[in-house]
A and B are shown apart, each in its own frame.
Chain A
Amino acid sequence: MLDLINVSYDTQIPNNVGLAQDKKVLKALEKWHPGYINWWNDLIPQNFQESMVYLRTAVSVDPKGWAKFDYVKMPEYRWGVLLAPQVEDRRIPMGEHAGELAWQEVPGEYRNMLKRLIVIQGDTEPGSVEQQRFLGLTAPSLYDMRNLFQVNVEEGRHLWAMVYLLQKYFGKDGREEADDLLIRSSGSEEAPRMLGAFNEETPDWLSFFMFTYFTDRDGKMQLESLAQSGFDPLSRTCRFMLTEEAHHMFVGETGVGRVIQATCEAMNKAGITDPYDIDKIRDLGVIDLPTIQKKLNLHYSLSLDLFGQEVSTNAANAFNSGIKGRYMEMRIDDDHKLKDDTYVVRTIVDGKIVAQEVPALTAINMRLRDDYVRDAAGGLGRWNKQIAKAGVEFEMKLPDEAFHRQIGVFSAIRANPEGVIITQDAWDKGVKDWLPTKEDGAFIQSLMVPCFEPGKYASWIAPPKVGIDNKPGDFEYVKLHMA
């Protein structure tokens, strides 16, 4: 009898899908495994590979107590294939097959669409690890370093999850696509990652926090909508990935929050009340709030691009075929088919931004993006409370969706953060106040000096309120190997 809750470590690849009995897929995965290990080894600087990192490893897919914490060398991390438990009699939640039994095998007619979605999702997972590969060198604390590595190994595991689906369900093509996931590489001239945002650098830790807050949140939304999939193995995979993704969001939100906290505390201590007194604030060794806002503007707008075109045929096809749903599909009170429904999308008509009703099916991307915007606003509220509590007059804001876009209808125009269409001239004049400048980058870079002493934190970031796994403040999250 297969144990589908607890992770089996009886093969090289921990899993709860009975890999030991599934010789073909096991063989395929074992063949893929060395390439993955090489990828990982080439990626992460050597001294970190040898270090003992206090990581959580999934041991079960039971929402309660699914992970255990222990020291582990990253290359020895047990990347595994974990799917949320199968729900008996699960039905396809949306589209023209709504109500039919969920597919346990790939339906031939949707094979390409499914494969493409899985490949794109899979391509983002290692992409972010590649973007963040050098951050360990400038970690502001061992606590943060540990969080970085946790995020990294879990992105690695998410890659495994997608690779498993490709190998198990998509035959020879799937195996080739799995190989290609290790060939493409972030920012590579040779074979870049598929989506633009995953080819941008993550040059500093504030970027990392912004990335985990905003860009991983796009990942969360995508996973949420794939978790609705009528293709049950994909749905189950994504449901489990979401458990892990929550930690990434946590790292982002608390990370930015701690940067803000350090800034506000330093300002108060020095008696600076004007948040725009930038030079003086920077002299304190903290990042001024306007610069944090600029970083936010950048990462938020890049992340909006990940949702693709506002009106999209692919998204419509995926929804109608039952491959990809909406955020919280099961909680939405409609017929889940959307054949005659409309949805309001903002677009540009005669140089003005106007709201337009379009067929709801084609606006699936837009709807998910709207849900994302609401979801992303939550953390901002908490940061602003923090700022207010510190008595500083400043408020973080999400820029308008029209601001700084490369994809979608707004990519054709220039808009300021308030969403007012402006001329190229006005943009050129204003951009230094809206997006990080080279000088801002250089200043942040100057703060990026490692702080590797247990319990100590770099000047620009406050310690966390509680430790990981409830460990005390001076816990040695990473036992550095300093060869």
Chain B
Amino acid sequence: MAKVIDFQTSPDQYRHWRVEYDGPVANLFMDVDEDGGLFDGYQLKLNSYDLGVDIELADVVQRMRFEHPEVKVVVMQSGKDRVFCAGANIRMLGGAAHSHKVNFCKFTNETRNTFEAAEADSGQKYIAAVKGACAGGGYELALACNHIMLTDDSTSSVALPEVPLLAVLPGTGGLTRVTDKRKVRRDRADIFCSIEEGVKGKRAKEWRLVDEVIPNSKFDDVVQKRAREFAAASPKVDVSKGITLGPLAKTVAEDGSLSYSLVEVVVDRAKRTATITLSGPDADAPADMAAFEAQGDQAYMLRLARELDDAILHLRLNEMEAGLWSFRTQGDPELFAAHEALLADNADHWLANEVRQYWKRILKRVDVTSRSMMALVEHGSCFVGVLAELLFAVDRSYMMEDEFDGDNRHMAAVTLTDANFGPYPMGNGITRLETRFLGEPEAVEAAKAKIGEALEAEEADELGLVTMILDDIDWEDEIRIFAEERASFSPDAMTGMEANLRFAGPETMETRIFGRLTAWQNWIFNRPNAVGETGALQRYGTGVRGDYNMERV
């Protein structure tokens, strides 16, 4: 898999999805091009998907919010006869490296979470109109929608056949959403998840697997009627026009380094590190949201978000050995604060809300990234508000203390804003600071009292906002040693350890999906019963059954 996976796309490039906009309702059709797989060696039959299909879906969902704020209801449906979606492509999974499978699942999970949350975050409700077979990842697509409608043609069913068919688990939240979101009784869930053919008709409704079962002849009408009803009942404020998300200015260097307008990523393959530097604003904040809207995708806060998001995704899939990421910022903290404040002060404005919700998603992406991460608070940096959240998302943060010889940049400081106390919760439902100070909630209050102050090293250290403060003498060496030590550990142990330590506090459906389901799934994905030469996943399609080691672990 040497080719570069590009996460940028646009509607004119879609091969697998199309959207028909109809006022407040958007009809989203999945119509996967069999021959449009991201890699060779498999065909995307029966609306099955691979990463490429999901990249398009993520783009659809993103553009729906920014480019089509008039949309209140999105109807996810199939563009093919007799099949809604057959789930992730099995031959693709069978042929993919473990690392690709895991990253593929992570990205698809993030996309599911995104359109699931679109209703609460942006007033865009996704509903699934299921006609034909809806199996595995197909049902998981539907599960992430907030209303599922199933036709009652005595053939169409919903199913999670992974266990009986492939000896793996549904990989995008299926099991968790069945119990936590749909609240299906556990014994029924047990039956449902162990039968290949799934459940159809009235029983699917009775078991809470779908919300509505509709006679086939009326199905299309009822779906459109329901979509209109939901749209009419939506509290979402009418917005007549969105903004356009143009292509990002991005260059990829030979050595893997990336360059955008505000984000620079230096990849050092020999040292297995990536250094991500975010630039502060290059101009004054827009006067008001009208001015922000006029700047559109060039508005600083949005441009930075998009570039950072793309950089994270790019590194995850394309630079898998870069196991240690360092986040840096450089820029004018006060100017950044002004840009952020415009959004915070206008949080009710549709576009301000979308940009803030987008930052929330990006920070969550950082949280679940399986890389060791550190932040470097250097002189000249601008860790303010939402950027300061990065300090609490990473595994360790290092801050410059006092003046450095020959360095005339402004003194390193951390500035907290309201952004650090509510609008950007983690997947566990509480803020990063609350999670950080789980054992000393008073520390959150102490930090809150300092909102707006540029906290220099000593104070930041005292407040517990950084891991370590280092002066001119120790800075380079300490960081070098940390980086070298980190690079020497087993990446698997690192991933496991970090994922355990990052998510203290309450469990939510989201944390369970990533922390529990994904971990089990990744374990199974590594076991011979699934992926060994005679495992079910490898043998799928050959007609020969998987040979299982019958020992229970």
Contact = CB atoms under 8 A, between A and B. Distances in A.
A321 B545 contact: yes
Interface residues of A, number: 29
Interface stretch (B14-22, B24-32, B527-535, B536-544): B536-544
Contact of A320 (B152, B195, B217, B545): B545
Contacts of A116: 197
Nearest to A359: B542
A180 B543 contact: no
A272 interface: no
Contact of B543 (A115, A183, A190, A313): A313
Contact of A112 (B45, B155, B195): B195
A362 B541 contact: yes
A316 B155 CA distance: 23
Contacts of B45: 309
Contacts of B215: 190
A112 B541 contact: no
Given A180-B154, A183-B154, A191-B216, A319 B543 contact: yes
Given A112-B196, A184-B154, A194-B155, A189 B216 contact: yes
B164 interface: yes
B213 to A, nearest CB: 12
Interface residues of B, number: 19
Interface string A62-95: 0000000000000000000000000000000000
Contacts of B216: 188-191
Interface in B189-215: 195-197, 215
Contacts of B59: none
Contacts of A180: 154
B155 A191 contact: yes
B119 interface: no
Nearest to A363: B543
A317 interface: yes
Interface in A144-185: 180, 183-184
B540 A313 contact: yes
A362 B540 CA distance: 11
Interface string B169-204: 000000000000000000000000001110000000
A26 interface: no
B169 to A, nearest CB: 18
A190 B541 CA distance: 33
B67 interface: no
A191 B196 CA distance: 21
A339 B545 CA distance: 12
Given A183-B154, A194-B155, A362-B542, A189 B197 contact: no
Given A112-B164, A112-B195, A116-B197, A190 B545 contact: no
B144 to A, nearest CB: 26
A317 B34 CA distance: 23
A190 B155 CA distance: 11
Contacts of A315: 543
Contact of B197 (A112, A194, A319, A359): A112
Interface string A179-223: 010011000111110100000000000000000000000000000
Interface of A: 96, 112-113, 115-116, 180, 183-184, 188-192, 194, 309, 313, 315-321, 339, 359, 361-362, 364, 412
Q: What are the 4 A-B residue pairs with the smallest beta carbon separation, nearest first?
A: A316-B543, A361-B543, A320-B543, A191-B154
Interface of B: 34, 45, 152-155, 164, 195-197, 215-217, 540-545
Given A191-B152, A309-B45, A320-B543, 5 more contacts: A96-B544, A189-B217, A191-B153, A313-B541, A362-B541
